[in-house]
Amino acid sequence: MSIAHIEIDVGAQRLMAYDRHAKLVFDRRISTAKRGVGEQLGSECTPRGHHVIRAKIGFGCPPNTVFEARRPTGEMYSPQLRRRYPDRDWILTRILWLSGTEPGLNRLGVVDTMRRYIYIHGAPDEDPMGQPSSHGCIKMRNSDVIELFDRVPAGTPVSIRA
């Protein structure tokens, strides 16, 4: 069943998705920014407001595929790889790239969600969900982001609230 709208509740650390009849069809724990909410470029905060999924990246990639600059690196995430690169921001498996729709709040200028490279993406299995820990993005379990990715078309509305 296709998803028509996504809501992200930063306070509850949950991503909820609804079908075209406004029925809840997907509800998962997530992790948003450890620095809280905010829209400024360089803030490492999760942006609020209305967005759309601008692009879907990673179709067909195996779980734990490592991405940098939206491209697979050829690496597969493992705890050993994390020990080699302890400061890396792990973007895994799938990317749903968000674009703000509200000029001055999350679109254009120094508040542009797309130019800030804010994604919904997979994360290492050992990363905690249900508590803020990202650099601004919305992190999910790899199995959850695969399921979401397969059920949403590009252009799907995404609302983020604190």
Tell me the average pLDDT across 47-73.
98
* Structure-block tokens of residue 37: 């909410």
Question: Is 142 strand, coil or helix?
Answer: helix
Question: Is 87 strand, coil or helix?
Answer: coil
pLDDT digits (tens, 9 = 90+) for 73-92: 999 999 999 999 999 999 99
Per the CB < 8 A criterion, the answer to whether 8 and 30 are in contact is: yes
Cα of 100 vs its chain's centroid, Å: 13
Q: How far is CA 156 from CA 9, 57, 88, in A?
A: 17, 14, 29
Q: How far apart are CA 17 and CA 23, in angstroms?
A: 8
Please report, for the chain, how many H helices and E strands are present, in that order: 2, 10
Angle at 24 between CA 21 and CA 28, to 5 degrees: 150
Tell me the average pLDDT across 36-46.
98
Supply the pLDDT for residue 2.
Answer: 86
Tell me the average pLDDT across 120-132.
97
The amino acid that residue 53 corresponds to is I
* Structure-block tokens of residue 119: 């994604």
| Residue 142 Ramachandran class (φ > 0 left, ψ -120 to 50 alpha, else beta) | alpha
Domain ranges of the chain: 5-161
Right CATH for 5-161 from 2.40.160.40, 1.10.10.10, 2.40.440.10, 2.40.50.60 = 2.40.440.10
Reported as a pLDDT band with limits 50, 70 and 90, residue 1 is low
Supply the pLDDT for residue 122.
Answer: 98
* Structure-block tokens of residue 100: 């703000």
